Amino acid sequence: MARKALWKRSDKFAFGAWTVMNAGGDPFGEATRPQLSGPDAVRGLGERDVYGFEFHDNDLVPIGTPPRRRDAILREVRKIMGSTGIKATAGTTNLFSHRVFKDGAFTSHDPKVRAYAVQKAMAGIDLAAELGAGVYIFWGGREGAEVDVAKDPVEALKRFREAMNFLCAYVLDQGYKMVFSIEPKPNEPRSDMYLATAGHALAFIATLDHPDMAGVNPELAHVKMAGLNVVHEVAQPLEAGKLVDIHLNAQKPLRFDQDMSFGADNPKEALLVVKLLSDYGYAGTKAFDCHPYRTEADPWDFVERNMTAYKLLEAKVDRVNSDARLVAMLEELTGADDAGLGDVLLSYSRKNAAKLRGMKFDPAKLAERRLLYERIDQRLTEILLGAE
Ligand SMILES: [Mn+2]
């Protein structure tokens, strides 16, 4: 791109190493561009002033790599981190590619597969700690079922919890400064997956031995695959103080996992996600988890467009928040008169209940208040389209 870069490292953008290592293969076709190595992926991102990279254990260290080779790869990655300034921001375990996980990892029927999965996650956590990553992601790619009669979902969730509890205790015992993050997804590659949305993940986290050690990294495309609202998907963990990372991308609703670039499908929705993160001062990394179109020869236009889209949307958020017409309409909408209510709705007490019981309301009159949703939505559209 000829345009001057709009982003800086201080924006805290991150990419999954796997996003640029994606060589364009899909279930119907072979790779369409050269396969980058893990270190080359990290280098390319670092050279483009990306703040951080996320990685699966096997993005850097393929399964079966001898220990000496592992250490050599790690030295190379550390050297690239030193020379480009890029940080390792999140690690994760690949518990889905190898056929051993064809029926799940933490939720497999086979205790040996479950034990292998936990062992692999321990090694991945060690790797992440060695590179200084403060977040460790759990995306249960194979934790699900096609045949529910053959896999008790209650038992599966118990097994999932056992694994998470074991690994939380491992992190504490090692003294690593690391939080866990669950990445929900409703389906694909399994027909149905456990922990389908941020709400599912939050409820599950509350049942862990160390709920304070775990949060959520919602992915916009994942919830969109279920036809749900991406802004709400991000808002719930944010409100719960559990948004530890976010995976930004785009997706047409109710389709296969398209993993398109941020803003590529629905710019208004993307704008509202940026507004949410910005209005509430989200301070974590903003990671892109998507991949270049299969028609691309290399991943670098893709990397630049994602960060550019975020920064342009961020500038629009400033416009939205300072637009006098929009601000006035929103104030009218949200500033209903509460005279006479006092603190009656703030907290329950017998006194407040008695007071509320005695209040007189005129629902017909209340219903007359104008709600300028058409005008507000249109004003947002105008700002997005660059109208005066
Ligand atoms: Mn993701």
Tokens of 190: 């399994």
Query: What is the dihedral angle through the alpha carbons of 236, 230, 282, 43, rounded to the nearest 10 degrees?
Result: 130
Its domain, for residue 352, covers 324-384
Kindly calculate the radius of gyration of the chain based on its CA atoms and give it in whole angstroms. 23
CATH code where residue 168 lies: 3.20.20.150
**Cα(289) to centroid of ligand 1, in Å?**
5
Given a cut of 90, whether residue 339 has pLDDT beyond it is no
Pairing state between β 192-193 and 144-145: antiparallel
With cut-offs at 50, 70 and 90, classify the pLDDT of residue 7: very high
- 351 part of a folded domain: yes
Given a cut of 90, whether residue 343 has pLDDT beyond it is no
Are residue 265 and residue 373 in the same domain, yes or no? no
**Cα(76) to centroid of ligand 1, in Å?**
25
Are residue 215 and residue 362 in the same domain, yes or no? no
pLDDT value at residue 344: 83
Yes or no: say if 24 and 294 are a contact pair by the CB < 8 Å rule.
Answer: yes
**Cα(57) to centroid of ligand 1, in Å?**
15
With cut-offs at 50, 70 and 90, classify the pLDDT of residue 104: very high
Angle between helices 300-322 and 373-384 in degrees, nearest 10: 130
Are residue 258 and residue 375 in the same domain, yes or no? no
**Cα(143) to centroid of ligand 1, in Å?**
15
- Work out the mean pLDDT of the chain and round it to a whole number: 97
Q: For 217-274, what is each residue's pLDDT tens digit?
A: 999 999 999 999 999 999 999 999 999 999 999 999 999 999 999 999 999 999 999 9
**Cα(219) to centroid of ligand 1, in Å?**
6
Strands (E), 261-348: 286-288
- 378 part of a folded domain: yes
- CB 262: neighbour CB atoms within 10 A? 26
**Cα(220) to centroid of ligand 1, in Å?**
9
- 2 part of a folded domain: no
- 4 part of a folded domain: no
**Cα(196) to centroid of ligand 1, in Å?**
13
Structural domain total, the chain: 2
Are residue 267 and residue 366 in the same domain, yes or no? no
Q: For 266-324, what is each residue's pLDDT tens digit?
A: 999 999 999 999 999 999 999 999 999 999 999 999 999 999 999 999 999 999 999 99
Residue 107 dihedral angles phi and psi, to the nearest 5°: -110, 15
- 1 part of a folded domain: no
Looking at 269, 295, 322, the residue that finishes a domain is: 322
Are residue 335 and residue 193 in the same domain, yes or no? no
Yes or no: say if 210 and 240 are a contact pair by the CB < 8 Å rule.
Answer: no
Quick one: average pLDDT of 76-84? 98
Given a cut of 90, whether residue 167 has pLDDT beyond it is yes
Are residue 152 and residue 287 in the same domain, yes or no? yes
Looking at 289, 322, 355, the residue that finishes a domain is: 322
Are residue 301 and residue 331 in the same domain, yes or no? no
Which ranges in 29-96 belong to alpha helices (H)? 38-47, 57-60, 67-84
Tokens of 78: 């550390």
Query: What is the dihedral angle through the alpha carbons of 313, 19, 244, 248, rounded to the nearest 10 degrees?
Result: 30
Task: Tell me the CA distances in angstroms from 339 to 177, 334, 335, 351, 366, one per residue in order.
Answer: 49, 14, 11, 18, 14
- 3 part of a folded domain: no
pLDDT value at residue 337: 84
Catalytic residues: 56, 59
Looking at 291, 322, 353, the residue that finishes a domain is: 322
**Cα(33) to centroid of ligand 1, in Å?**
22
- 48 part of a folded domain: yes
Quick one: average pLDDT of 43-53? 98
One-character DSSP codes across 81-140: HHHH--EEEEEE---SSSGGGTT-STT-S-HHHHHHHHHHHHHHHHHHHHHT--EEEE--
Are residue 375 and residue 279 in the same domain, yes or no? no
Are residue 215 and residue 152 in the same domain, yes or no? yes
**Residue 11 DSSP code:** G
Are residue 230 and residue 362 in the same domain, yes or no? no
The residue whose two tokens read 């045949």 is 147
- 281 part of a folded domain: yes
**Spatial CB neighbours of 187, under 8 Å, sequence gap ≥ 6:** 144, 193, 196, 225, 226
Yes or no: say if 194 and 160 are a contact pair by the CB < 8 Å rule.
Answer: yes
Are residue 286 and residue 359 in the same domain, yes or no? no
Are residue 96 and residue 159 in the same domain, yes or no? yes
One-character DSSP codes across 190-237: SSEESS-SHHHHHHHHTTSS-GGGEEE--BHHHHHHTT--HHHHHHHH
The percent of residues above 90 in pLDDT, for the chain, comes to 96
**Cα(9) to centroid of ligand 1, in Å?**
21
**Cα(247) to centroid of ligand 1, in Å?**
5
- Report the candidate in 11, 8, 82 with the shortest Cα–Cα distance to residue 285: 11
**Cα(129) to centroid of ligand 1, in Å?**
20
Yes or no: say if 140 and 217 are a contact pair by the CB < 8 Å rule.
Answer: no
**Which residues fall inside 5 Å of ion ligand 1, going by CB?**
219, 247, 289
